[in-house]
């Protein structure tokens, strides 16, 4: 500020800022969603549109789409927040027991105290027991469990720990394409090398080991690939991996010396009759000590998905297997800088891993609410696939699990040209026009990655059944019109 | 895994991991606290010690030290979590109104839905009004406010945005010494350059502009210092900056083209009669448009400190002033990758910035609970200073604010030698012996930074009055003994 003149330029500008942050993208909350929010505001202000409501099918946010919270989860967390309610006879006895158990594990018996950085010990013990039940008795050690701020936080912490080197020895991280863009964003932020492996759309988005191998060998020419990320059930694909596929991946990772990261946040969301969820940990241990004593694995879970949909609580856990104890200390140190994950989210996770059992006063209601959510999602998964597959120009694989469909759509060459002229991805052009005309907000496939020359969008199956049906019909009709307009 | 032989080495080792993570340190939860937790477990298991209780005075965790939550804060958040309670006549009407206001601003009216990445809009509006009231009417724009996962999260996000360049153009970040080690840890993680400026212990830990200038000019020889971090009231020093000091800092930052980060989480924690909290924003705007129209400032607040002490909720906000709108978009994109800060923490922040007003049914109780906490802290701040200053070999500045004392202690040369032999900082040796002998856990000054050859520790003033008194007596006696032993 020479001579008292105002500065010409700011200190923090697009040019001076962290360029890794600048280049990262996160489509799930990208420009199209920002526009959707603007449209919502315009509607509220009485601006006339060709639609009366914006439907945000862009994000796996169940409660936002009207799904009701599971009563028991909220009873226990409310009791933890306001323990005076422990004297209230409107709350069932087992909800009080759970709340007392959690509060006794909190410093000063308050959910407002920091927890240990790794998370409340009792909840980590319960999570270990939950994993053991899930995996048919394979042991789980609470010391290997970290409670996290949603799964995202755990995934980013693990990636942060793994990234090292410069130039050709820079860490390469293998991710599926299409992927959930948290991965590409974190990789950009950490300035690591993103190594893509393509899922096989013609085979229900299955993982193909040959493709994995080819991608790895190619990547080795320019970086040091040492992490393999798997999302199962798949986001955005909705694919559920077979047991055989998981075995093949584990064998591959062991042979090629890769650290495995298994994003298993949709483990409760399996709908197809011929599919089942197999955890990477269970398969690993069933393959015998040759694998289970050496393969390094981190797996992630969350309270945001499943039947809970409690995204706002930002609760989750990760379990690390075969991690060098000295590195685990470093991980604990790293997470301690942020002190701890939110304790209400930890409590929520604590109830999810230790739910009411048969005979408990809340069991019946808890279970029926849980099944209602999951059955409803299964029905909507089927309906989505059915309506899309009846529509010419749209190809949709079965939604075997998770909360999304990721259909491939025809985009005529003329529309591709127009998109190019506007400097937009062609599926961004489609999604933008769809939003402006119908109020339906879905995310372009280009935000998740797709094979060159193919176009997709991701849509959640979360809106209420009747609304989803209307939405699917409007969307397919709009696509027909779009194709016609550009033909 | 050639020939089926087990791998000799893990993929993720101390050598192969991210070396920036490896070198970071966070003393507040470092080795001494890990040892304190072990001792607690040993006591629980019935192991005999020379003490019956471990007192963790290492961290500003009020509820862990027995401080009771403010009733109104918990009533409203419990109502948000379990809205059925809105029909319960045990909850005061104004707590219900606040809860309804927050719920109506949540997607699907559920606290379990994701919020906008920047935070719930109504809460950001309330935060803006809170800041305006605090700053005597200086306007605050909700668009400049980001709700964060505690203050730590906001501070790290801002630093992340600011760090760029390589070699001599690498971003330098000026931090006070002693500092709160979140700063040094984040700087190490981001591989930025830490630029120390020493606070003046002989002048009540005041900030000295000459020292600031000298440090800046020195740093310019080897990096690009562009951020100045201030902690006021000070952590760990307990110092409260005068209005004149803040003006000088602003003038300095403007002249030298520095981005200002003001950590103001202890703004409610001012105890000394001749001190008052002045926000950087208020002083900036009162200095006129020459400064207020250009200086780039980010200021941070939290629900963890003040009279609330709700650390477990991980709630906070930051306000950014004069930030380039294009960079603000980048900041919003960056925070959107983690989706949103925990919504229960946002709700808690929402109540703190919009508390009961005179005439509201809860006003009287809210206010008396708040004053009780703050008066009690003021009393303990005074007691701490008094007991320490009566003890030879201990020098303690007045605890004007925040939640800590940071006394300088005499460590005899023989003890320094022994520490060297054990590869320990001398004050680490002192704190370790103190812990093992008395069960008192405080953090060595070396974890915060101090002038070469001086030794300190940080201790919270949070234990209940009588317990704190005993603790102070035990600690000063132990120090006497320690000095004698090594003389």
Residue pLDDT, tens place only, A350-371 = 999 999 999 999 999 999 999 9
| Mean pLDDT for the stretch of residues A155-164 | 96
* C-alpha–C-alpha distance, residues A170 and B386, integer Å: 55
Residue in B with minimal Cα distance to A166: B18
Minimum distance, in Å, between the CA of residue A85 and any CA atom of chain B: 10
| Tokens coding B487 | 């003389």
Q: A323 to chain B: which residues are within 8 Å by CB?
A: 10, 12
Report H helices in A316-444: 325-336, 343-352, 363-389, 413-421, 426-438
Q: Exposed, middle or buried, B1 (CB in 10 Å: 0-12/13-18/19+)?
A: middle
Closest CA to A458 of A383, A395, A398, A408: A408
| Mean pLDDT for the stretch of residues A424-449 | 94
Q: Do B61 and A150 touch (CB under 8 A)?
A: no
Give the count of beta carbons closer than 10 Å to the beta carbon of residue B244.
Answer: 10
Written as one string, the DSSP assignment of A101-158 is HHHHHSGGG-TTS---TT--HHHHHHHHHHHHHHTTT----GGGEEEESHHHHHHHHH
Minimum distance, in Å, between the CA of residue B16 and any CA atom of chain A: 7
Q: Are A154 and A146 in contact (CB under 8 A)?
A: yes
Give every CB contact of residue A27 below 8 A, 6+ residues apart in sequence.
A181, A443, A444, A446, A447, A448
Q: Exposed, middle or buried, A66 (CB in 10 Å: 0-12/13-18/19+)?
A: middle
Q: Using CB atoms, which residue from A6, A69, A341 is nearest to B110?
A: A69
| Tokens coding A454 | 């193919």
Domains of chain A (ranges; CATH) run 19-66+367-485 (3.90.1150.10), 114-352 (3.40.640.10)
How far is CA A83 from each of CA A75, B75, B287, rounded to the nearest angstrom?
11, 10, 48
* C-alpha–C-alpha distance, residues A108 and B51, integer Å: 20
How far is CA B351 from each of CA B94, B140, B308, B355, B366, rounded to the nearest angstrom?
11, 18, 11, 6, 11
Classify strands A145-148 and A316-321 as parallel, antiparallel or unpaired: antiparallel
Q: B16 to chain A: which residues are within 8 Å by CB?
A: 164, 226
Q: B14 to chain A: which residues are within 8 Å by CB?
A: 324, 326-327, 330
* C-alpha–C-alpha distance, residues A463 and B107, integer Å: 13
* C-alpha–C-alpha distance, residues B308 and A416, integer Å: 56
* C-alpha–C-alpha distance, residues A324 and B10, integer Å: 7
Q: B110 to chain A: which residues are within 8 Å by CB?
A: 63-64, 69, 312
Q: Do B113 and A81 touch (CB under 8 A)?
A: no
Q: A114 to chain B: which residues are within 8 Å by CB?
A: 59, 61, 64, 311-312
Q: What does chain B come to in residues? A: 487
Q: Do A312 and B69 touch (CB under 8 A)?
A: no
pLDDT 10s digits, A222-260: 999 999 999 999 999 999 999 999 999 999 999 999 999
* C-alpha–C-alpha distance, residues B121 and A78, integer Å: 24
Classify strands B394-395 and B408-409 as parallel, antiparallel or unpaired: antiparallel
Q: Using CB atoms, which residue from B13, B185, B296 is nearest to A12?
A: B296
pLDDT reported for residue B8 = 58
Give every CB contact of residue A113 below 8 A, 6+ residues apart in sequence.
A106, A107, A343, B61, B62, B63, B64, B311, B312
Q: B18 to chain A: which residues are within 8 Å by CB?
A: 160-164
pLDDT reported for residue B1 = 39
How does residue A8 score in pLDDT terms, banded at 50, 70 and 90?
low
Q: Are A231 and A263 in contact (CB under 8 A)?
A: yes
Q: Are A339 and A117 in contact (CB under 8 A)?
A: yes
Minimum distance, in Å, between the CA of residue B149 and any CA atom of chain A: 8
> If you search the block for the tokens 């208020």, which residue do you land on?
B282
Q: Are A327 and B12 in contact (CB under 8 A)?
A: yes
pLDDT reported for residue B27 = 75
* C-alpha–C-alpha distance, residues A366 and A363, integer Å: 5
Written as one string, the DSSP assignment of A159-208 is HHHH----GGGSEEEEEEES--THHHHHHHHTT-EEEEEE-BGGGTTB--
Q: Which helix (H) or strand (E) holds A300?
A: strand A297-302
Q: Do A11 and B185 touch (CB under 8 A)?
A: no
Q: List residues bridging with B318 in a β-sheet.
A: B146, B300
pLDDT tops 60 at residue A82: yes
| Mean pLDDT for the stretch of residues A60-78 | 96
| Mean pLDDT for the stretch of residues A30-38 | 88
pLDDT 10s digits, B1-25: 344 444 558 999 999 999 999 998 8
| Interface probe, candidates A13, A89, A312, A315, chain B, greatest B C-beta count within 10 A | A312
How does residue A34 score in pLDDT terms, banded at 50, 70 and 90?
confident
Report H helices in B45-115: 71-81, 93-105
Closest CA to B101 of B354, B309, B342, B333: B354
How far is CA B332 from each of CA A25, A40, A61, B351, B444, rounded to the nearest angstrom?
11, 19, 19, 23, 37
Q: Are B445 and B428 in contact (CB under 8 A)?
A: no
* C-alpha–C-alpha distance, residues A119 and B263, integer Å: 26
| Tokens coding B432 | 């370790």
Classify strands A457-460 and A297-302 as parallel, antiparallel or unpaired: unpaired
Q: Which helix (H) or strand (E) holds A55?
A: strand A55-56
Question: At B109, phi and psi to the nearest 5?
Answer: 50, 30
Q: A116 to chain B: which residues are within 8 Å by CB?
A: 37
Closest CA to B112 of A306, A374, A459, A269: A306
pLDDT reported for residue A158 = 97
pLDDT reported for residue A4 = 47
Q: A7 to chain B: which residues are within 8 Å by CB?
A: 257, 294
pLDDT reported for residue B273 = 92
CA distance from start to end of chain A: 59
Question: At B357, phi and psi to the nearest 5?
Answer: -105, 160
Question: Which stretches in chain B have pLDDT values below 70?
Answer: 1-8
pLDDT tops 60 at residue A5: no
| Interface probe, candidates B1, B7, B8, B11, chain A, greatest A C-beta count within 10 A | B11
Inter-chain Cβ pairs, chain A and chain B, closer than 8 A: 293
Q: Do A4 and B290 touch (CB under 8 A)?
A: yes
């Amino acid at each position: 500020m020479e001579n008292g003149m105002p500065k010409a330029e700011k200190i923090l500008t697009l040019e001076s800022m962290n360029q890794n942050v600048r280049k990262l993208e996160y489509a799930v909350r990208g420009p199209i969603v920002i526009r959707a929010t603007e449209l919502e505001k315009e509607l509220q202000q009485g601006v006339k549109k060709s639609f009366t409501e914006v439907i945000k099918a862009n994000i796996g946010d169940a409660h936002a789409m009207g799904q009701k919270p599971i009563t028991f989860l909220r009873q226990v967390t409310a009791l933890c927040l306001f323990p005076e309610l422990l004297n209230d006879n409107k709350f069932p006895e087992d909800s009080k027991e759970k709340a007392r158990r959690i509060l006794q594990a909190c410093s000063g018996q308050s959910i407002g105290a920091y927890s240990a950085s790794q998370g409340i010990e009792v909840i980590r013990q319960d999570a270990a027991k939950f994993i053991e039940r899930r995996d048919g008795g394979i042991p789980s050690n609470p010391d290997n469990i970290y409670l996290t701020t949603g799964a995202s936080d755990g995934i980013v912490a693990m990636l942060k720990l793994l990234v090292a080197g410069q130039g050709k020895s820079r860490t390469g991280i293998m991710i599926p394409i299409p992927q959930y863009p948290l991965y590409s964003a974190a990789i950009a932020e950490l300035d690591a090398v993103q190594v893509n492996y393509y899922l096989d759309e013609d085979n229900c988005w299955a993982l193909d080991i040959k493709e994995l191998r080819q991608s790895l060998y190619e990547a080795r020419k320019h970086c040091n690939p040492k992490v393999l990320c798997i999302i199962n059930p798949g986001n955005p694909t909705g694919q559920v991996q077979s047991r055989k596929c998981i075995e093949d991946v584990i064998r591959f990772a062991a042979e090629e010396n890769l650290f495995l990261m298994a994003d298993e946040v949709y483990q409760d969301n399996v709908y197809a009759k011929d599919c089942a969820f197999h955890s990477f940990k269970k398969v690993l241990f069933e393959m015998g000590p040759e694998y289970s004593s050496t393969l390094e694995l981190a797996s992630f879970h969350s309270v945001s998905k499943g039947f809970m949909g409690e995204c706002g609580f930002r609760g989750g856990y990760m379990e690390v297997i075969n991690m060098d104890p000295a590195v685990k200390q470093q991980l604990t140190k790293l997470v301690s800088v942020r002190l701890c994950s939110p304790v209400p989210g930890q409590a929520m996770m604590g109830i999810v891993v230790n739910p009411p059992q048969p005979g408990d006063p809340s069991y019946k209601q808890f279970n029926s609410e849980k099944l209602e959510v999951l059955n409803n999602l299964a029905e909507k998964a089927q309906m989505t696939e059915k309506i899309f597959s009846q529509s010419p120009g749209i190809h949709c694989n079965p939604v075997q699990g998770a909360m999304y469909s990721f259909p491939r759509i025809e985009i005529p060459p003329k529309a591709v040209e127009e998109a190019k002229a506007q400097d937009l991805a062609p599926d961004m052009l489609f999604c933008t026009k769809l939003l402006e005309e119908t109020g339906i907000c879905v995310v372009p496939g280009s935000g998740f990655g797709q094979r060159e020359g193919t176009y997709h969008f991701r849509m959640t199956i979360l809106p209420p059944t009747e609304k989803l049906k209307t939405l699917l019909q409007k969307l397919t009709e709009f696509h027909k019109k779009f194709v016609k307009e550009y033909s």
